[in-house]
């Protein structure tokens, strides 16, 4: 699994020129599911993202988690995170998991985040989406293959 976690002041998904979902202050999380990724990995990443201290405290130090600030999370499935660009100019996506299993793991990941009693919004799996967001900081964290 690969993740891009971005601290945002707001984010929204637009599908077919209509707002599909949106959040205010929180995290925009892009997730790519690879072949051989397992359900058991989802608990680790959900806990890691929920507890990641990347929000400022009163002294402007990144000491607070999404739980501390009572923020929201917008989760988007993005298989292009798995692009292999070693050969040629056209990325290869052979390491991406098949859509059926990816969709299942994506939805399960969102459910695991909801267990932390936080507002979770998501994109539409497989849809062509426009993401409109303001990266706060900017703060962008890459996770995966730890």
β-bridge partners, 76 = 30
In this structure, the number of other CB atoms found within 10 A of the CB of residue 31 comes to 28
Q: Is residue 91 a contact partner of residue 84, using CB atoms and an 8 Å limit? A: yes
Per residue in 85-103, pLDDT (tens digit) is 999 899 999 999 999 999 9
Q: Tell me which fold the domain 2-144 belongs to.
A: 3.50.80
- pLDDT of residue 146 exceeding 70, the answer is no
The pTM assigned to this predicted structure is 0.94
Is residue 20 very low, low, confident or very high in pLDDT (cuts 50, 70, 90)?
very high
Does the pLDDT at position 41 exceed 90? yes
Q: Active-site residues: which are they?
A: 80
Q: What is the β-pairing status of strands 119-122 and 72-77?
A: parallel
Q: What percent of the chain has pLDDT over 90?
A: 95
Domain boundaries, the chain: 2-144
As given in the structure block, the two tokens for residue 54 are: 């990347």
- Specify the 3-state DSSP secondary structure of 87: coil
For residue range 53-87, list pLDDT tens digits in order.
Answer: 999 999 999 999 999 999 999 999 999 999 999 99
Q: What pLDDT was estimated at residue 104?
A: 96
- Residue-level pLDDT at 32: 96
Place of tokens 């979902």: 21
């Amino acid at each position: 699994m690969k993740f891009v976690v971005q601290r945002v002041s707001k984010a929204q998904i637009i599908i077919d020129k209509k707002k599909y979902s949106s959040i205010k202050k929180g995290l925009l999380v892009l997730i790519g599911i690879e072949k051989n990724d397992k359900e058991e990995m989802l608990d680790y990443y959900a806990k890691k993202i929920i507890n990641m201290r990347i929000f400022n405290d009163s002294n402007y130090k990144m000491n607070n988690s999404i739980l501390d600030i009572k923020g929201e999370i917008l989760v988007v499935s993005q298989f292009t995170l798995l692009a292999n660009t070693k050969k040629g100019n056209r990325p290869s996506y052979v390491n991406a998991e098949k859509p059926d299993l990816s969709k299942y793991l994506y939805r399960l990941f969102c459910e695991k985040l909801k267990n932390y009693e936080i507002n979770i919004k998501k994109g539409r799996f497989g849809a062509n989406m426009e993401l409109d967001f303001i990266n706060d900081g900017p703060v962008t964290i890459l996770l995966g293959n730890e």
